[in-house]
């Protein structure tokens, strides 16, 4: 004969209560995951998935930093590109004027007038060479504060910037120089084979034309070769800037694709599948209701009442 003791009755109540509590806890967890959109709220619930999420989120954070840096580099390069276009326009204008001065049909007065216009172009080139980047520093001076060039008392200029341009990371372990230095854009070889820069070459040409005489036409003819070299230097520099812009654009495109892939992976790892969770919640709710009903019926049997007394 099986004897049911008060101890077994107490065990029944305890086990049933634990089972009901477990069902209720799981139902609450599933309900929370549906409302929050996350499969788990603590690393303890799924350590492997939590570790994977931390790694993906770390990559997201680094990508955010890289994107900001790439955007800054791109902004500076676009600004440099625009400024160099103006420089090229100035040099072309100077070549047109110098070509007029090189002919034998203009007078000394007309050459002097052309020299004055070249001086104005020279001043404009100095201002362009001292353009500022997105942080207000020297665009063509390696990012130094202040100007990239200073103008001396005799009208020549001296480069006072850093020897190299600032380099900024753009992601995937890559970095790019965010501009060019003044010498990389403006330094040339004149018609006589001397090293100089476009600004000084224009200044010397303007002075010769203003002086007039037989040397003025000769200076203009030599100036055409010098300015052609200046145009080559500036257009080559602009091509370099354009290639860097394209490189950043390609890198940014790759980063966007990687970010999209990470977002998909993060969703798969951490986001709740609402349809599956809703089905599971319905199952748990049904099981919980059934268990509660059974528990109430069993606990109301007279045998348990008698044994419990």
- Residue 223 and residue 184 in contact, taking contact as beta carbons nearer than 8 Å: no
What is residue 300's predicted lDDT score, i.e. its pLDDT? 60
Give the Cα separation of 56 and 75 in Å (integer). 28
Give the Cα separation of 249 and 253 in Å (integer). 6
- Residue 177 and residue 165 in contact, taking contact as beta carbons nearer than 8 Å: yes
> What pLDDT digit, counting tens, does each position of 198-211 carry?
999 999 999 999 99
146: alpha, beta or left, given left = phi > 0 and alpha = psi -120 to 50?
A: left
Torsion angle, alpha carbons of 20, 23, 25, 30, to 10: -160
What is residue 47's predicted lDDT score, i.e. its pLDDT? 76
Which residues of the chain are modeled with pLDDT < 70? 1-14, 16-46, 49, 53, 56, 265-285, 287-309
Alpha helices in the chain (DSSP H): 6-36, 47-102, 108-129, 182-186, 198-211, 214-270, 274-299, 302-308
């Amino acid at each position: 004969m099986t004897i049911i003791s008060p101890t077994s009755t107490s065990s029944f109540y305890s086990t049933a209560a634990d089972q009901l509590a477990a069902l209720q806890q799981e139902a609450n967890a599933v309900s929370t995951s549906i409302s929050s959109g996350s499969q788990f709220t603590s690393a303890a619930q799924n350590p492997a998935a939590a570790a994977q999420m931390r790694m993906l989120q770390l990559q997201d954070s680094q990508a955010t930093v890289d994107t900001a840096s790439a955007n800054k580099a791109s902004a500076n390069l676009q600004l440099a590109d625009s400024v160099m276009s103006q420089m090229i326009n100035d040099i072309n204008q100077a070549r047109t004027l110098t070509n007029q001065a090189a002919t034998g049909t203009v007078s000394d007065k007309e050459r002097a007038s052309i020299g004055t216009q070249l001086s104005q172009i020279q001043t404009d080139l100095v201002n362009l060479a001292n353009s500022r980047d997105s942080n207000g520093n020297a665009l063509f001076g390696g990012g130094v504060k202040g100007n990239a060039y200073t103008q001396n008392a005799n009208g020549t200029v001296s480069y006072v910037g850093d020897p190299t341009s600032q380099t900024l990371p753009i992601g995937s372990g890559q970095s790019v120089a965010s501009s060019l230095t003044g010498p990389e854009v403006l330094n040339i070889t004149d018609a006589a084979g001397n090293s100089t820069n476009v600004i000084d070459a224009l200044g010397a040409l303007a002075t010769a034309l203003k002086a007039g005489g037989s040397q003025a036409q000769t200076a203009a003819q030599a100036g055409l070769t010098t300015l052609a070299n200046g145009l080559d230097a500036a257009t080559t520099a602009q091509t370099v800037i354009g290639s860097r812009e394209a490189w950043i654009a390609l890198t940014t495109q790759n980063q966007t694709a990687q970010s999209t892939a990470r977002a998909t992976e993060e969703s798969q790892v951490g986001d709740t599948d609402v349809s599956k969770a809703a089905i599971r919640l319905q199952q748990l709710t049904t099981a919980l209701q059934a268990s509660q009903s059974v528990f109430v019926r069993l606990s109301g049997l007279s045998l348990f009442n008698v044994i419990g007394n």
